[in-house]
Structure 1
Amino acid sequence: MHLNYLALAVPFFLTFMGLEYLVAQKKRKRYFKFNDTVANISVGIAERLLDTFTVGLFYFIYDYLYRRYALFDIKASVLLWVALLMCTDFIWYWYHRLAHEVTVLWCAHVVHHQSEEFNYTVSARITVFQAFIRTGFWAILPVIGFPPAMITSMLLVHGLYPFFIHTRTIGKLGILEYILVTPSHHRVHHASNPKYLDKNYGDVFIIWDKLFGTFQKEEEEPVYGLTKPLESNSFLWQHFHFILEMLYSVRAARGWRNRLRVIFGKPDNVDPAARAVLEESFLLRNRSITETPKLNNYVVWQIATTLTLLFAFLLLQYYVPVFIQVCVTLLILLTLINCGAILEQKRWVFYLEYARYGVLCFALFYCWPHPSLVTLAGLVLATAIYYQSRLRKEYYRLVYGYTRT
């Protein structure tokens, strides 16, 4: 069978997340919060899922640039693999630094810094927007002359290392602190303490930060998250809030020079009042949230089922028809939106179940195109609509533990 063994990354990373949780529990440290962990894993699921549709495009870009514009004909050797590692890490430093210093790039990167905890699940907070931007930076590698196969292999290895530095369970690492980016260095990077802001951009090697004056040693206890906490579990809001804040600020700015300064200047140029205004329009925050075991259990089961579906989908990707791939993608994304909405106890979350039901029906009909299936699906939907009021109350009771109107 022609399996996609990159799917094994899912259980691999989940295993280390579980081990870190057990270590934290043994040390009696509260390094994990339920809502934070669910949000982190949800973002990671979406990125891994959408990555299946973009990785081929990225390889095509590298191959196109290599065949047409390569300056040197580089052949794989030990020294050139080392050179590629150093070039990749150097480019990463500048991508990462500019992602903090340029508003339009921060729109994509801000998601990675929203968590107010710091553990292995935070490493999953990578969006497909970031993947596109990084590809633009790494496009210099095939132009230099590194073959696409070498680049892709290096990016897989280079992308693995940062996972292990998102942790509070590992202290300082002696002499390695002078060479590599360690958990201690990266804790500083994720902190919102004034002295820690915009420091330690490196991915594997800390030497770039020391060369370019952005290094900061971990001293006082870091406070994690954004300087202005997001205070939302919404999957959609986490992805798009800063894009909306930027657009709001662009619209409010006078003159093209000021508008361009908002987009390509520092994120500080975004109107600090924008978020509050946009929250009133888009977030509709529920101020009376009460966590219940039923709510948490329902979310856990949804995330567990989604992870299982994601693993099977990635492993058998080459055998799944395109239409079913689209259905699986929609189903997973709707579920992630559903989980975020449930954590915020939104009233409209009930209607997402209709959307998920519709996607399932389309997928089943594709696999078994029989008229009786359409009739049955229509009868179920008609019955649900007829008894909608009663179903909605029962849904809220089962999910939230109480009846909502």
Structure 2
Amino acid sequence: MHLNYLALAVPLFLTFIGLEYLVSHKRGKRYFKFNDSIANLSVGIAERLLDMFTVGLFYFVYDYLHRHFAIFDIKQSVLLWVTLLICTDFVWYWYHRLAHEVTLFWCAHVVHHQSEEFNYTVSARITVFQAFVRTGFWAVLPVIGFPPAMITSVLLVHGLYPFFIHTRTIGKLGVLEYILVTPSHHRVHHASNPQYLDKNYGDLLIIWDKLFGTFQKEEDEPVYGLTKPLESNSFLWQHFHFILEMFYSVRAAHSWKERMRIIFGKPDNVDPAAREILEEKFLLRNKSITETPKLNNYVVWQIATTLTLLFLFLLLEHYEPVFIQVCITLLILLTLINCGAIMEQKKWVFYLEYARYLVLCLALYFYWPHPALLCAAALIMVMAFYFQSHLKQRYLRLVYGYTRT
């Protein structure tokens, strides 16, 4: 069978997350919060899902640049594999640093820093936007002359290491603190303490931070998250809030010079009042949220089902028709939006069920294109619309434990 064994990363990472939870619980530490962990996993699921469609594109870009613009004809050898790893890490440092120093890049990277906890689930907070920006930086590697296959292989290894430095269960690592980026170093990077801001950009080697003056040792207990906490579990808002804030600030600017300064200057140039204004317009925050066991159980059930579906989707991708791949992608994305909205206790989550039902019907019709299926699906939808008020009340009671939100 032609299986995609990279799908095994899903259960592997979940195993380490579970182990970290058990270790922290045994030590009496609360390193995990329900809403925070669910939000982190949701972002990670979306990235893994969309990554399936973008990896081929990225490889095509590397291959095209290598064939047409390579400066050197680099052949594979042990020394050159090591050289490529070091070059990859060097490029990462500058990508990561500019992702914090340039508003346009921060729009893609900000999602990674929204969590107010620090554990292995935080490592999942990577978006497809960030993947595109990183590819633009790594495009220099095939131009130098490194073959695309080498680049892809090294990026897989290089991308694995950062997962293990997103933890508070590992202390300082002695002599390794002088060479590698350790959990201690990365805790500093994710902290919002004033002395820790814009420090420790390295991914594998800490030497770049020491060379370029951005190194900071962990001293005071870090406080995690953004300097202005997002305070939202919305899957969509987490992805797009800063993009909207940037556009709001650009629109309010009085000259092209000011607009360019906002887009390509520091994120501090974005109007600090923009978020509150946009939250009032788009987020419609529910200020009386009360968590219930029903709500949490429903979200856990959805995330567990989605992770299982994601694993099977990735593992069997070579056997799935394109139409079914699109249907599964839409179904997973709708579920992630649903989970975020449920944690925000929005009443409109009920209408997302219509969208999920429609996607499921389309997938079933693809495998069984019979008029009877269309008639049955249409009849169920008509009945749902007819009894919508009653169904909505039952749904909200089932999910939240009450009908008013």
Q: Same fold (TM over 0.5)?
A: yes
Partners in 1 of 2:154 and 2:34 — Cα distance? 34
What secondary structure does 2:154 align onto? helix
Q: 1:326 — aligned with what?
A: 326
What secondary structure does 1:29 align onto? coil
- Residue range with higher mean Cα deviation, 146-155 or 73-82: 73-82
Structure 1 residues without counterparts, runs of 5 or longer: none
Partners in 2 of 1:292 and 1:98 — Cα distance? 41
Partners in 1 of 2:341 and 2:3 — Cα distance? 34
1:276 matches 2:273: no
Q: 2:257 — aligned with what?
A: 257
Which AA in structure 1 matches 2:149? A
Q: 2:364 — aligned with what?
A: 364
Partners in 2 of 1:65 and 1:207 — Cα distance? 29
- The alpha-carbon deviation at position 283 of structure 1 amounts to 0.2
Q: 1:216 — aligned with what?
A: 216
Partners in 1 of 2:392 and 2:311 — Cα distance? 32
- The alpha-carbon deviation at position 320 of structure 1 amounts to 0.3
Q: 1:158 — aligned with what?
A: 158
Partners in 1 of 2:402 and 2:274 — Cα distance? 34
Q: 1:341 — aligned with what?
A: 341
- The alpha-carbon deviation at position 403 of structure 1 amounts to 1.6
What secondary structure does 2:117 align onto? coil
How do residues 1-400 of structure 1 correspond to structure 2 at under 5 angstroms? 1-400=1-400
Partners in 1 of 2:264 and 2:335 — Cα distance? 34
Partners in 2 of 1:55 and 1:135 — Cα distance? 10
Partners in 2 of 1:236 and 1:324 — Cα distance? 24
Q: Please, what TM-score do these two structures have when normalized by structure 2? A: 1.00
Which AA in structure 2 matches 1:101? E
Partners in 2 of 1:79 and 1:320 — Cα distance? 40
Which AA in structure 2 matches 1:168? R
Partners in 2 of 1:81 and 1:378 — Cα distance? 58
Deviations 1:156-181 (A, max 9, x none): 00000000000000000000000000
What secondary structure does 1:299 align onto? helix
Which AA in structure 1 matches 2:256? W
Task: List 4+ stretches of structure 1 deviating above 4 A.
Answer: none
Partners in 1 of 2:269 and 2:142 — Cα distance? 35
Partners in 2 of 1:190 and 1:131 — Cα distance? 19
Which AA in structure 1 matches 2:48? R
- The alpha-carbon deviation at position 404 of structure 1 amounts to 2.3
Deviations 1:310-349 (A, max 9, x none): 0000000011000000000000000000000000000111
Partners in 1 of 2:331 and 2:48 — Cα distance? 14
Aligned identity (percent) is 83
Deviations 1:111-136 (A, max 9, x none): 00000000000000000000000000
Which AA in structure 1 matches 2:212? F
Partners in 2 of 1:366 and 1:237 — Cα distance? 33
Structure 2 residues without counterparts, runs of 5 or longer: none
What secondary structure does 2:111 align onto? helix
Which AA in structure 1 matches 2:384? A
- The alpha-carbon deviation at position 78 of structure 1 amounts to 1.0
- Residue range with higher mean Cα deviation, 173-182 or 374-383: 374-383
Which AA in structure 1 matches 2:251? R
- The alpha-carbon deviation at position 76 of structure 1 amounts to 1.1
C-alpha RMSD of the superposition: 0.5
Partners in 2 of 1:204 and 1:228 — Cα distance? 28
Deviations 1:249-274 (A, max 9, x none): 00011100000000000000000000
Q: Please, what TM-score do these two structures have when normalized by structure 1? A: 1.00
Partners in 2 of 1:217 and 1:332 — Cα distance? 40
